[in-house]
Structures are given as structure tokens and as C-alpha cells.
Amino acid sequence: MDDIEPAATEEDAAPRAAAGERVVIAAFTASMAAALALAVVYWRGGQAQLEGVLLAISLGGIGVGMVVWAKRFLPSGEITEERGRMASTDDEVASFTHAFEQGEQAIQRRALLLKLLGGAVGALGVAALFPIRSLGPRPGRGLFDTGFRNGTRLMTVDGRSVRPEDLSVGGVVTVWPEGHVGEPDSPTLLVRVDRPELFRRPTRTQWTVEGIVAYSKLCTHTGCPVGLYQSRERLLLCPCHQSTFDVVEGAKPIFGPATRPLPQLPLGLNQAGELVSTGDYREPIGPGFWNRRR
């Protein structure tokens, strides 16, 4: 007859359980420490290699702890018991009482493990908040608003204000709102036409000054800078895809893939005779998809 391996006694099982608990505690504690260190690294500017190591320790600690927990403390295999008598012997009652007392202690120890698991997962969640925060603030109206306000002076790239007499007939100059020179969402073209009476709708003539009209320099097709002006035909051209806009008719596209006019900026004069904006653009600037609604 084959030899039968004796079942593990309670004396053997207790040290194994204690060793397993120590492993789980160590794993969850290491995970928490690594996650908190990861949060500190993110907060201090980040370091890719160290972040990878700490993230691996944090996730690995949770994984090791849960695997050991499952193998050492959760029942495995099929357990069957033959139906016998309903009454219990004195030895069975004593064995149950002893097991119940041991179980109370085990439940207390398991509660500690659960708290450590919650702490490890919570610390990892805290660390995850930092890369989410690094995405920056919500854009809000930032995609629709520029630096132009009522009374904002128009400035050239070298920081000079513009007066009507600075712009010759047929001339064009790029300007930005004061304090926002060089901002990518604010380049604006000032164009002076020879005959202001040529302005036709949808041009807002009340937003022009002495034949000077202002349009966003960002093409409404893909946002390329509209930098070419044909003064004789009074046309603005985008060099990227040849979209062409009629200056005297509200910068309406007459050729090319652009489907929206260039937004017009309202103009005025301050007491010093300098060109200023009397408000922001009323339409979204740049590519056409900015103004789409769900």
C-alpha cells in the first residue's frame, strides 16, 4: 500500500499562516511607500525612470499581497463531508470552540490586511492624481476668447501701437492685443482699402476706422496664417491651401477649402488717436471645427 502523507497539523499551519501574513503586510506596506514616493516625484517635477520603478513596486506589491493572501488564507479545492450523526461529541465541541477562538484572532488579523490593502490602493490613487493634474486646467472658454477687450491697443510685433496714418492705402499689417504680442490665438490683420464705400455686407462697417478693417489672421480651414494680400483685387490668400477671402465683403471665402469667413474684430480710436479694439471677436477664430456644437 502506498504511503499516505500525513495531514498538516495545527502546529505546522500556524507558522505558515504567520509567515504568509508577514509577506502580505510587507507587500502592501511596500506598495503604499512606493506610491507615496511616486506622488512626491511627480510633485517635484518627475523623473521617468524613477517613476517607472516606483510604479512597478506599487503595482507589484498589491499583486504579490493579493496572490499570497489568496493562496494562504482562502479555501482551495473541494471539501466534502459525509453525513453523519447530528449530535456532536465532546471532542468535536472542544475542537470547534478552539477553532472559533483561533478564528476570532484570524479575523482581527485579516482586518489589518484589509486596511493595508485599502491604504496601498488609496496611496496609488493619490499618486495617480498628479499626472492627471499635469494635464493642466480645463480650457473652458479659452478656445473661444482672445486677449482683445474694449479699449485694448493694437500692437505690432515690435511693440508699437498703430495709428490710422501709419497704414497706407492698400497696406496690411499684423497686430496683437497689448500685453499679448506673439500669442498664437490673437494675430490680426489690419487692411486699409482705398475706397471705404466698397465695403459690403456682411462687413460690419461700424467696426472699421477710416477704411481700415481688422480680420483674424488664422485661416478658418486649418488655422494657417493668412499672409498674402492682393491690394488691387482686395483679396486675402492663405498660402497653405489657397483659400481666398474677399476683404470688402466680410472676408467671405470665394475660393479654396475654407467655408467660413475670417472673423472680424471691432475697431475704434482712443483719445491718443491709436487704434484699439472695442471688444473681442464675436465668432470662434481659427479652424471651422471650433464652432461646432454637439
pLDDT at 44 over 90: no
Judged against a pLDDT cut of 80, whether residue 105 lies above it is answered with: no
Query: What pLDDT score does 288 carry?
Result: 63
CA count, 13 A, side-chain hemisphere, 127? 27
CB 211 within 8 A of CB 192: yes
Range from 99-108, 183-192, 207-216 carrying the lowest mean pLDDT? 99-108
Convert 130-144 to b/e letters by CB count within 10 Å (16 or more is b).
beeeeeeeeeeeeeb
Backbone angles phi, psi at 267, to 5 degrees: -110, 155
Give residue-wise pLDDT tens across range 113-129: 778 778 888 888 877 77
Rg of the chain in Å (alpha carbons):
37
Any idea which residue has 476570532 for its cell?
104
**238: exposed, middle or buried (Cβ count in 10 Å: 0-12, 13-18, 19+):** buried
For residue 10, what are the CA distances in angstroms to 13, 15, 23, 98, 178?
Answer: 5, 9, 20, 11, 82
Percent of the chain with pLDDT over 90: 41
- Choose between 209 and 113: higher pLDDT: 209
C-alpha cell read off for 159: 511693440
pLDDT bracket for residue 79 (50, 70, 90): confident
Element (DSSP H or E) covering residue 114: helix 90-133
101 to 14, 96, 130, 152, 263: CA distances (angstroms): 14, 9, 45, 80, 80
Q: Which residue has the higher pLDDT, 47 or 226?
A: 226
What mean pLDDT do residues 164-170 have?
Answer: 92
The helix or strand, by DSSP H or E, that contains position 117, with its residue range, turns out to be: helix 90-133
Question: In the chain, how long is the greatest CA-to-CA distance?
Answer: 116
pLDDT confidence of residue 4: 46
Whether the CB-CB separation of 18 and 10 falls below 8 Å is answered with no
Q: How does the average pLDDT of the chain come out, rounded?
A: 83
How much is the pTM? 0.56
Q: Which three cell numbers stand for residue 114?
A: 484589509
Q: What is the pLDDT of residue 194?
A: 87
Helix axes 48-73, 90-133, angle to 10 degrees: 160
List pLDDT tens digits, range 11-36: 556 666 677 788 888 888 999 998 89
Q: How far apart are the first and last CA of the chain?
A: 78
Q: What is the DSSP letter of 149?
A: -
Lowest mean pLDDT: which of 50-59, 127-136, 196-205? 127-136
Instruction: Specify the range with the lowest mean pLDDT, choosing from 142-156, 182-196, 234-248.
Output: 142-156
